[in-house]
A and B are shown apart, each in its own frame.
Chain A
Amino acid sequence: MTPQMLDTQTEHLLRELAPQVLGVLLHRFRDFSVAEDAVQDSLIAAANQWPHEGTPDNPRAWLIHVATRRMTDRVRSERARLNRETAAAAERSLFVIPSFDLDSDAQDDTLVLLFMCCHPALTPASAIALTLRAVGGLTTAEIASAFLVPESTMAQRITRAKGIIKSSGVRFHSPSSKERAERLRAVLHVLYLIFNEGYTSSAGPELQRLDLSAEAIRLTRATHALLPEDPEVAGLLALMLLTDARRTARTGPAGELIPLNEQDRSLWDQAAIQDGIALLTGALQKGSVGSYTLQAAIAAVHDEARRAEDTDWRQILALYDLLKRMSDNPMVLLNHAVAAAMVHGPAAGLGLLNALDHDARLASHHRLDAVRAHLLELAGDRIAAIEHYRSAAKKTASIPERNYLLTQVARLAEHGD
């Protein structure tokens, strides 16, 4: 779709209908790859025609009609190609007897599609691309520009992902109840990665890039609507909203990073915070608390502090204590050390960091140096803080972060004079 040509309402409508139309096609035809291409064709046709001819009375039926026609064309040409090889194989692989549940719930279809696109056989990058296209209804060009790769590269990544789905024998049906929890975890992880990727690009010269954070929130909101009883889906959505609420305060006019304790909190989006807290409260009431819900709870404690010095670090420390038991992610351990320093003083935090020096996952990671520098500064050891900020700046792979770390080095060096 070409967003500049479409009004927001039409664009949202198309994006919402995309997975539903694909679901309908998949009930009639077996080939996911061809069906997904046909739906993409129908979306592009709608984006070209609707602005001139008006939105049809029944947009969903219009898209299904066009996509089915494209599907038939594609299947025919595919069949002609295969006929030259083996006609029988073509019959078997491309058509299925229309399933008895043709009218099955479009909502369920969207969920099944999410499970397919986030299948563990795919690499994260492939799952992200496929999810954005098949479930998110984005064009290959839009996805390519979001990840700053050529459109042909993204097209190949999507084609390859579909090939892996085909060869892994992943079918268009819900996962068994046995594997459901694990598959849902994979879906949430992909949504989390999309959000995180958007977090990179929301500043400075990259503003024209597609807003991946907003897209992740939209998809997670849709998933939450489909699974309202699942606390971790609500927890992830809450985490995204509570984090995204700080977006405008997070970067300065030149795209420079502004740390949490220096942000202008009047810029925080209170509506998103309230929305996030309501979701979080609901998730916590469900009993079993997962890691996304805990992370959302930590984000909520930050968001509720009117000033940085009002932050309830004791509560944050208690939450990290819980999170630490659930996850062996070294970033959790680092953040736990920061919370311990805020509650018990920098020496306590630095002591916890010493235990992480031999963690191979952190050996070349800038964040250990950055956290140590921060705690050393709190402890009043300016020279050592400079040294560790400098070392962190050498290791980071993010330009805004490197600029931030080098600014800390310069600030501390000037203070000494």
Chain B
Amino acid sequence: MYDFSYAKPAALAQAVQALGDPEAKALAGGMTFIPVLKQRLNKPSVIVDLAGLGLSGIRVEGGALIIGAMTTHGEVAASADVKAAIPAVAALAGHIGDRQVRYRGTLGGSLANNDPSACYPAAVLALAATIHTNKRTIAADAFFQGMFTTALEADELITAVSFPIPRRAAYAKFANPASRYAMVGVFVAQTDAAVRVAVTGAGQNGVFRHEAMEAALATSFTAAALEGVTTPVDLMSSDIHGSAEYRAHLVMVMARKAVEEAKGK
């Protein structure tokens, strides 16, 4: 790891100011960022630790589940409020990485990084969540802009995420057995207005909405309704863990599983 200076501001304004330095980087839980630093894939001069900003916490308010950006996966997984409001989010958080990763990794860190195989982006996109930052609110549809790319500006920090509570939802993940990242993860959510389906792990451009599946499920929210819906193979990523064809097939398998699970609740 290259060396860096370390700052742990106690207020959001100070953190934002510190991140005005173009060589500064924010540190949330560090479960991805510290490995990135260890591989010398990034060389910040200053690390701005966000742990002192009081950005963690969970509450339900006005038909939405609001989770602070620094809330850990473990806290989300164990939260009675999350389990009651959107159990699929609690279940998703409880299967990220391993116990030790879940104690440190955060919602905000996961979203800001937008790893193409991360689980949370699928929930945020399928649930049409709103990302709150120190500057503005960003709709999920506008937030994710391709792998490792988001709408966030350099000195913009996620403060919280607001998830509208759906009628029912579920997430099905086919985890890479070594890394536990999603080889394919499908999050299905049904609200009074619509059905949304978001796919992570599979797309060449990171998380995406599967509109053909959304249309089919809007007609009938059953696994059978997905029959004949195709997933374009040329949009899938292909690597040593699975070919594009394999991933396209897994998208259907996981989508069916997610619909069945959502209906079962």
Asked if A and B are interacting partners, one says no
